[in-house]
Structure 1
Amino acid sequence: FVGHLGELELAGASITNIGIQGLAYGIMLGMSTAVQTVCGQAYGARRYRAMGVVCQRALVLQFVTAVAIAFFYWYSGPFLRLIGQAEDVAVAGQLYAHGLVPQLLAFALFCPMQRFLQAQNIVNPVAYMVLAVLVFHIFISWLAVFVLSFGLLGAALTLSFSWWVLVALTWAYIIWSPTCKETWTGLSMLAFRGLWGYAKLAFASAVMLALEVWYVQGFVLLTGFLPNSEIALDSLSIWYSTP
């Protein structure tokens, strides 16, 4: 939908989605692999209550990390200028990044919950929720861009809103689904015990995964130096988004 707003808007969204947001995604996804590792071991050992504590520990750690990364989102414009991106692309990218700050926080919460369910072989319910939210997101994106003319910021905010809907649905499933009654027994202060030990495992996992995906982000940032950078970034965005 952003492509219908213009070449500049698409270029700004592209460099944010792939160059800025991709950096955060690498960290969040990497940290969440620790949940699957620890919860998988607990599930195999039938220590079901420990799985809920691990999930809460991950939620706290990843949310705090996301808040720290949000400052990078907010000041992404100066960063893009610093590495030589065009002024208009940097301005558009920063505007789009501002609208994605809530999405970053939602993604930080969704990743541990997804891994928590995945460790229990609960996959289909999450897939159904993602599909439902995708249909909902297409509708509100069309509404924001074509009907209400909210522009680039509106497109980013609709994405953030859709992610928070997904987080709410996943959280509700964990709390109320009978399939999680043994692994989720409510909030516990035990989540704050051993937080540093878990943090070391999570950050180590984040580094390993992030290094695998950050090469694409570097490629995008280098693309911004090409002549007619708007067209180059637009083309790269289409290529990156096409399966």
Structure 2
Amino acid sequence: MESGKWKVKGGLRPHLNCISIKTRSVSHNFPLSTVNFQLQNPEVLMTYKRLTILCGHYGSGKTNIAVNMAIDLAAQRDHVAIADLDIVNPYFRSKDSEDEFKEHGIRLICSDFASSNVDLPSMPADLYSITDDKTLSVIMDIGGDDRGAYALGRLRDAILNENDYEMLMVVNKFRPLTPDAESTIEVMREIEAACGIPFTGIINNSNLAGETSADDILSSVKYAEEVASLANLPLVLTTVEEHLYDDLKDQISPLFRLKLQKKPI
């Protein structure tokens, strides 16, 4: 399967060389103002479903992608939210980018204990607004593996009945338990069984944190394509940190540029 080629209709489709900049009013309990929003990835204009669900193994990088996608989506639509349902790993949380969300008028749905010193598997009080409020466009950050997916399972019936979602498997070939396509597919099936929702696509987020090179990302594309082929799903995109983007933009398509989230001290 070629990177970025779709086999299914609808969904999160990359459109290359398109730019959409939107001027709008910010609400969601934040002061009203007129703000000019620019797409973080003008080279890859994504067409999002109402719900975009990001799942994957521990350390696959779901949260960084969720934060970047929420900001990207806020440049295209009103009423954007990011839902942090990661009850498995409390260290990297979407809530750590709360100030940036306010700046872009993005609503944050998360546990009251997120980014606190209390390590409890707690769900957001307004969890069901994700499925009940059809005016919201939501990026959902789900905890690692099947344990995190059980939380998503609470919304299963509503998500499937509405059928306006993408559930994307975030893969990283450099994680110890998903070094090849077969082991990654096994993790995918565990997540699907736990939440009862089928995946619709693959995101290649292979990286070695601060040690990642352009060659590392190039070498990961074949792995991601093998995962997509075995799963019979499209490879939606490959991600890259900002400083490597120019080195890879002519070699990988579609390529989604990431501004990395920083953990507050």
Fold conserved between structures, TM > 0.5: no
The structure with the greater share of residues assigned to strand is 2
Q: Larger C-alpha radius of gyration, 1 or 2?
A: 1
TM-score, length of structure 2 as denominator length:
0.25
Structure with bigger RCO (C-alpha 8 Å, 6+ apart): 1
